Amino acid sequence: MEAIVYNVTTGALMVMMVNCGLGVVGRDTLRARPWPWAAITLTVIAVGGVLLQLAWSGAMDALDADPAKSGWWRGFTSVFMQNGGLFGGLWNLFTLAAVAALAQWYWGGPLTLAFFLAGVLLPSRLGSLLGIGEGFGTDPRNFAGSSGATYFLGATLALAFLARTRLPKEIALAAGVPALGLAMWLAQDNGHGLVSFYGFGLGGAVWAARRWATRRRAARPVSGPTA
């Protein structure tokens, strides 16, 4: 029963973030959007990781992020290893493609990749600093998988939606992402919730910085032609 509740809440959190992404991008605009090259790149690498696992039985042992093993590369390569079985692997690939595409259409490709990288590196650093959580920011359960970085990235879309909407129902949806994430971590020790909380916070910082920069540019006096 505990595993079922864990999976249901984890899935529900992702559904909320995807709906936030659809809301901030615009559901009716998807067909007119350009190809999301950052999302395609991340997904292709993740699929390549799965194919490598199928072709090489030692891939997980060599590339996961088990802290008991040495190797500077593990924090990066483990993101593209999948260890949740067939359904878990497909879920991770599908959600990575969907979330990264929505993120690129809102944040742009370079910032999407930067957020994804932050989702790989930042949670473990914050966990060590605060004395909470453990392992790298990949699959928070067992040192491999793309879900942690994907949930981190997805939470930035919830922040963007919260900053944009004024409708109470939509505000509740967006604000519910960090709230549910924190509750999941406290009640279930579910790392997906914790990394989502982190992602929401970083998304807020970046959104505020972009807004400040935009206002500063708008307030800058325009020099007219000189006689």
User: What is the pTM assigned to this prediction?
Assistant: 0.92
Report the pLDDT value the prediction gives residue 47, as an integer from 0 to 100. Answer: 98
Report the pLDDT value the prediction gives residue 106, as an integer from 0 to 100. Answer: 97
Report the pLDDT value the prediction gives residue 49, as an integer from 0 to 100. Answer: 97
Cβ-based neighbours of 148, under 8 Å, separated by 6 or more: 79, 119, 120, 123, 136, 137, 138, 139, 140, 191, 192, 195
Give dist(CA 214, CA 96) in Å, integer. 30
Mean pLDDT for back-to-back runs of 10 residues, the chain (227 residues): 92 98 97 97 98 96 89 93 92 98 98 97 80 50 85 98 97 98 94 95 96 88 59
Count the alpha carbons within 13 Å of 98 in the hemisphere toward its beta carbon: 19
Report the pLDDT value the prediction gives residue 224, as an integer from 0 to 100. Answer: 57
**Do 154 and 195 meet the contact criterion of CB atoms below 8 Å apart?**
no
Looking up tokens 């004024």 gives: 166
